[in-house]
């Protein structure tokens, strides 16, 4: 079985990104990575209960739909013909036309127990030898392509796995090779790691590798804290109505990000 990020996901209403009070630095860092994921990830450091995961989920829900190759299991971008997966490239070489569809930005929550194989995917060498065909089992990086990869408590993840995630976020590709057989697929994702510094820090080498790192703290102004409370209560009481109220602001930001993406050349 491959990694299925959509298994068991409940359809719940997500708190609007634009309704988050304060935390401008965190919001800006998230938006910059949404415009161009190859910036290389955001690390959000803060105490428990500071809306870190709310913000990451809210961002994914807000992002504009993306164009994908309809029947590609890696959600290749039909416009980026230089970074297609091995399968799409072979189809093009055979003269096939790649069908296009629109897709929402997925939110992938990385399990802290994730191993290297689970993250990068695996090539079935036995099958290649016996049946003479290449068989690639996609990992988390495949599921995360064109989406947002969220790592709660990134400080608890294996250092080597963190390295891998940062590498592929910056490259935008995942390359797997075993015994002369290789497979490539795009891995262009918004990397968001969070941690509570009170529960142990990341190694400095890893800290340095996140392109952006923001500290978030509780807001000092009592009026802001009242706003947070009021909005939370309103959202909990009637999530759909609350979302509806913020929809214009959500759409405006989503359109701005879409326009900035169109201007981004990387
Ligand atoms: Zn593809």
* 248 inside domain: no
Q: How confident is the model at residue 53 (pLDDT cuts 50, 70, 90)?
A: confident
Cβ atoms within 10 Å, residue 162:
22
Q: What are phi and psi of 261, to 5 degrees?
A: -65, -40
Give residue 266's pLDDT.
60
Percent of the chain topping pLDDT 90: 62
Q: Identify the weakest region by mean pLDDT among 58-67, 161-170, 180-189.
A: 161-170
**Residues with a beta carbon under 5 angstroms from ion ligand 1:** 72, 74, 76, 85, 88
Q: How far apart are CA 135 and CA 18, in angstroms?
A: 43
Instruction: Please tell me the distance between residue 159's alpha carbon and the centre of ligand 1 in angstroms.
Output: 29
Q: How confident is the model at residue 178 (pLDDT cuts 50, 70, 90)?
A: confident
Instruction: Please tell me the distance between residue 34's alpha carbon and the centre of ligand 1 in angstroms.
Output: 21
Number of domains into which the chain is organized: 1
Q: How far is CA 55 from CA 60, 71, 80, 121, 197, in A?
A: 9, 31, 29, 28, 18
Token pair in block for residue 265: 């050349």
- Average pLDDT score over residue span 58-82: 94
- What are the pLDDT digits (tens) for 93-119? 999 999 999 999 999 999 888 999 999
Q: How far is CA 38 from CA 157, 185, 203, in A?
A: 21, 15, 22
Q: How far apart are CA 29 and CA 41, in angstroms?
A: 9
* 244 inside domain: no
Q: How confident is the model at residue 1 (pLDDT cuts 50, 70, 90)?
A: very low
User: In a 3-state reduction of DSSP, which class is residue 15?
Assistant: coil
- Average pLDDT score over residue span 234-238: 95
* 243 inside domain: no
Give residue 8's pLDDT.
47
Q: How confident is the model at residue 202 (pLDDT cuts 50, 70, 90)?
A: confident
Token pair in block for residue 38: 């190859």
* 236 inside domain: no
* 259 inside domain: no
What CATH number is attached to the domain comprising 140?
A: 3.40.50.300
Higher pLDDT, 253 or 125: 253
Evaluate whether 154 touches 53 at the Cβ level (below 8 Å): no
Evaluate whether 214 touches 170 at the Cβ level (below 8 Å): no
- The yes-or-no verdict on residue 76 having pLDDT over 50 is yes
* 99 inside domain: yes
Higher pLDDT, 184 or 202: 184
Task: Using alpha carbons, select from 2, 33, 27 the residue that is nearest to residue 169.
Answer: 33
* 161 inside domain: yes
Q: How confident is the model at residue 131 (pLDDT cuts 50, 70, 90)?
A: confident
User: In a 3-state reduction of DSSP, which class is residue 66?
Assistant: strand
Higher pLDDT, 89 or 127: 89
Question: Which residue carries 């939110």 as its tokens?
Answer: 107
> Can you give the residue range of the structural domain that contains 85?
20-216
CA dihedral (116, 118, 119, 124) in degrees, to 10, reads 90
CB under 8 Å to 29, separation ≥6 — which residues? 42, 44, 212, 214
Evaluate whether 110 touches 151 at the Cβ level (below 8 Å): yes
* 231 inside domain: no
Instruction: Please tell me the distance between residue 195's alpha carbon and the centre of ligand 1 in angstroms.
Output: 33
Instruction: Please tell me the distance between residue 25's alpha carbon and the centre of ligand 1 in angstroms.
Output: 35
Q: How confident is the model at residue 2 (pLDDT cuts 50, 70, 90)?
A: very low
**Beta strand residue intervals within 63-189, DSSP E:** 66-69, 100-103, 107-109, 122-123, 136-137, 148-151, 173-178, 181-186
Instruction: Please tell me the distance between residue 118's alpha carbon and the centre of ligand 1 in angstroms.
Output: 19
Instruction: Please tell me the distance between residue 157's alpha carbon and the centre of ligand 1 in angstroms.
Output: 29
Q: What's the pTM?
A: 0.87
Q: How far is CA 161 from CA 64, 86, 248, in A?
A: 29, 23, 39
């Amino acid at each position: 079985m491959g990694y299925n990020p959509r298994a068991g996901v409940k359809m719940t209403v997500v708190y609007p990104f634009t309704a988050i009070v304060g935390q401008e630095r965190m919001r800006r860092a998230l938006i910059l990575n949404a415009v161009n994921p190859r910036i290389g990830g955001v690390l959000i450091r803060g105490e428990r209960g500071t809306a870190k995961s709310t913000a990451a989920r809210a961002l994914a829900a807000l992002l504009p739909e993306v164009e994908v190759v309809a029947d590609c299991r890696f959600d290749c971008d039909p416009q980026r013909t230089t970074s297609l997966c091995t399968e799409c490239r072979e189809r093009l070489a055979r003269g096939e036309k790649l069908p296009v569809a629109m897709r929402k930005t997925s939110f992938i929550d990385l399990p802290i127990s994730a191993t290297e194989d689970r993250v990068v995917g695996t090539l079935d060498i036995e099958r290649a030898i016996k049946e003479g065909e290449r068989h690639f089992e996609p990992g988390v990086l495949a599921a995360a392509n064109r989406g947002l990869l969220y790592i709660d408590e990134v400080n608890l993840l294996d250092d080597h796995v963190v390295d891998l995630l940062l590498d592929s976020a910056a490259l935008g590709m995942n390359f797997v090779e075993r015994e002369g057989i290789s497979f490539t697929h795009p891995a262009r994702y918004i990397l968001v790691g969070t941690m509570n510094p009170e529960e142990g820090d990341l190694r400095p080498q890893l800290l340095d590798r996140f392109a952006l790192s923001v500290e978030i703290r509780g807001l000092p102004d009592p009026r802001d804290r009242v706003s947070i409370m009021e909005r939370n209560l309103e959202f909990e009481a009637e999530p759909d109505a609350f979302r509806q109220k913020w929809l214009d602001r959500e759409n405006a930001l989503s359109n701005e990000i879409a326009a900035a993406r169109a201007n981004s050349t990387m």
